Amino acid sequence: MTNPCGPYPGRQLFLGLTVDRKPCLAYLVSGRSPESRQRKAVAVENTVRIGPLGDTRYDPLRHYNGLKYENSSGIAAVSNGIQTESIYETYRLLFNVGTAATKDFMAKILDGADAEPDSLHTPRIAGAVIPGKGNPVLIIGIKTSGAPAATHQVTSVAGRLAGIATYQGDLNNPEATNPAAAPPELEFNGSDAQDLAKFLYDLSAASYKGDDIRVSTVGGVYSGSTWDIAIINRQ
């Protein structure tokens, strides 16, 4: 199996259910430039930070909280930038006051964040997991330059993941994902966070100018009381 978004998805996330119907998420960081690859994912309390290696200078577009979660409620937010915190706090508040979690809230946050101010106008992508009672609410979204944010509520099917990526897969000429395109899907037969992190890492193998583009993958599975988190770093 290969990555459904092609050899260069950039940053990518998936949400879904494991085969035993546990809410799960996965996040991929990949990069073409040496600077983009000088990063790693690090677990810090209830977050996973995408941070620099060694004394690499801090860059707010490359270094951010990629995942934030709460064990008691199971609320989790995953994204490729500054929007992670806002999405997490918004859906946590909605959960605590008993307000329905809809995709409109994510759309407003992504529209406010806008696409990244880099040369490629890299899209903002995000996902939110709201377990609740019964089937969890799973929401993914993308904000591209010059277009309103597009958000989708993922259908909860055991062993299936749906996601979003920043780019359409061309290694030589990255283009933003079409926000109107249907989210790519994957069949996932594993059951734990390590399986999920390895699954996404393995299917995303690709090279650019002779170097592996993969930086990190993060897998997460919610048991109903705690999030199990696994990280694979290239370096």
The string of pLDDT tens digits covering residues 25-82 is 999 999 999 999 999 999 999 999 999 998 888 898 999 999 999 999 999 999 999 9
How far is the CA of 42 from the CAs of 35, 129, 218, 229, 235, in angstroms? 18, 20, 10, 11, 12
**Token pair for residue 122?**
């890299």
Domains of the chain by residue range: 11-233
DSSP 3-state helix, strand, coil percentages of the chain (rounded to 5)? Answer: 15, 40, 45
Read off the pLDDT of residues 68-119 as tens digits, 9 standing for 90 and up.
999 999 999 999 999 999 999 999 999 999 999 999 999 999 999 999 999 9
How far is the CA of 185 from the CAs of 60, 81, 154, 195, in angstroms? 30, 23, 10, 17
172: left (phi over 0), alpha (psi -120 to 50) or beta: alpha
Beta bridge partners of 140: 127, 152
Residue 132: band (very low, low, confident or very high) from pLDDT cuts 50, 70, 90: confident
CATH class for domain 11-233? alpha beta
